[in-house]
Amino acid sequence: MSIRNIKSNFLFINKLQCFKYSTSPKSVATVTLNEKNFIADEYTNLTPKIISYLNRNLHLQPNNPLCLVRQRIVKYFYSSFTHGGNPTFSVYENLSPIVTTKQNFDDLLIPEDHPSRAKSDCYYINRNNLLRGHMTAHQSELLRAGLDNFLMIGDVYRRDEIDSSHFPVFHQVDAVRSQLKEQLFENHRGLNIFEPDFDPMHPSDYKNSIDDPTKQSCHTLEAAKLMETQLKNHLIGLVQALFGEDIKHRWVDAYFPFTHPSWELEIFYDNNWMEVLGCGIVRNEILANAGPNNTIAYAFGLGLERLTMALYKIPDIRLMWSTDSGFLSQFHDKGIDEKITYKPVSVYPQCVNDLSFWLPPSLTIDTFMCNDFYDLVRDVGGDIIEQVKLKDKFIHPKNKKHSLCFSIVYRHLERTLTQAEVNEVHKEIEKAAVNSFGVVIR
């Protein structure tokens, strides 16, 4: 992309609050993302649309189904792995999606010419920075910080088409579980993680060694096999916790530059094999570079959208981004283990009208029965009422009168409602409230 192209793109981007384009006297284009400045270059390919998804943090929004599934996964790891009553895994779900190419690729031994680095696949901020393409981008920094068991959860960005199952932004849960020799071979003292002639302190050893298909050359067969068994059991436990004991699964050999051996787990869902995660034994070179040189670790990464869509029967990935209350309310205030089956919301637009009134002196904001009001709204409005929400409570500072404000969401299942006809129904509801409760419309 030439600088001219970048400029025209950025001028449009400039309209967004979180993104600024400016030209210094030397005519250097800069990109400001989350209050950080980057110098644009021929790699820059962010678009305003993509930037608008930054900071949405769907995985942390209480009404979003992704948030429920995130909580279920964290709960599985918290309850399955403890030491001394404390959870073994620590959870990181607020890591910035702005990462360096070192974090996203180099630290993970992804070769210079690997296709996942292509401009056509990533959202580059510039040559050295990008929106992370996977949560594994944080693996090395957390290992370097001294962590051994952790989950990394967040939004990841990959250039993709938008259709019912693909979206350029999605969410992943990534994890590392490390074991010392004493932990791995708790019941078999005397066994070792590393082959006797291997020196983890000599990184050049990695370059010269050739791995066989079952294990890295540095690991003993016992360590690699035991770790593989644990990894597979833990992940099958996870999909059983989500989909039930009877879920059919299979393991498929895979390749990732940062793990060896590597696998993908597929589950049989809706008459099809569906890939749910990638995993493997972490390349010891990554561990040694980041610090620990006496552990063996497994890692996995799973996409939250696919699991969430399957669990709740959500037909389109774009719905995850919906701010429509007809969608979000289906996941509102739900226990994480509650069985939820998504009911399609009408494709016709919503109309939202507010209704505020003063209560009669006999009632207060605490004694007014909201449920009575909801029934009245449904009685008068019928099927076009999609939702009624209490929006605001207010006590006038001087005259001490009490007031309530409700939002009423109207939507017809078969056609677009006009504002005029909604206003008419709304007026009827106001009249009925005045008659039934003695309120005064504000």
**Which residues here bind ligand PHE, judged by CB under 6 A?**
134, 136, 174, 256, 259, 262, 278-280, 299-301
Q: How far is the CB of 313 from ligand PHE (least distance, A)?
A: 24
Which residue's CB is nearer to ligand PHE, number 296 or number 351? 296
Please check whether residue 138 is in contact with residue 94, taking contact to mean a CB–CB distance below 8 angstroms.
no
Which residue's CB is nearer to ligand PHE, number 134 or number 402? 134
Work out the burial of residue 335: count CB atoms within 10 Å of its CB; fewer than 13 is exposed, 13-18 middle, 19 or more buried. exposed
Q: How far is the CB of 94 from ligand PHE (least distance, A)?
A: 19
Which residue's CB is nearer to ligand PHE, number 109 or number 345? 109
Give the C-alpha separation, 7 to 326, whole Å: 39
Please check whether residue 306 is in contact with residue 276, taking contact to mean a CB–CB distance below 8 angstroms.
yes
Q: How far is the CB of 276 from ligand PHE (least distance, A)?
A: 11
C-alpha pair distances (Å), 434 with each of 199, 355, 373: 83, 12, 11
Which residue's CB is nearer to ligand PHE, number 215 or number 402? 215
C-alpha pair distances (Å), 106 with each of 111, 125, 258, 259, 350: 7, 17, 10, 14, 48
Q: How far is the CB of 281 from ligand PHE (least distance, A)?
A: 9
Which residue's CB is nearer to ligand PHE, number 155 or number 174? 174
Which residue's CB is nearer to ligand PHE, number 290 or number 377? 290
Question: End-to-end alpha-carbon separation of the chain, Å?
Answer: 56
- Under DSSP, the state recorded for 411 is -
Nearest residue relative to ligand PHE (C-beta): 301
- The encoded tokens of residue 309 equal 């869509």
| Single-letter amino acid code for the residue at 273 | W
Q: How far is the CB of 239 from ligand PHE (least distance, A)?
A: 16
- The encoded tokens of residue 246 equal 């009877």
Q: Is 274 helix (H, G, I), strand (E, B) or coil?
A: strand
Please check whether residue 51 is in contact with residue 71, taking contact to mean a CB–CB distance below 8 angstroms.
no
Give the C-alpha separation, 429 to 406, whole Å: 12
Q: How far is the CB of 383 from ligand PHE (least distance, A)?
A: 44
Q: How far is the CB of 87 from ligand PHE (least distance, A)?
A: 20
C-alpha pair distances (Å), 249 with each of 160, 273, 280: 27, 8, 17
Q: How far is the CB of 86 from ligand PHE (least distance, A)?
A: 24
Work out the burial of residue 334: count CB atoms within 10 Å of its CB; fewer than 13 is exposed, 13-18 middle, 19 or more buried. middle
| Single-letter amino acid code for the residue at 439 | V
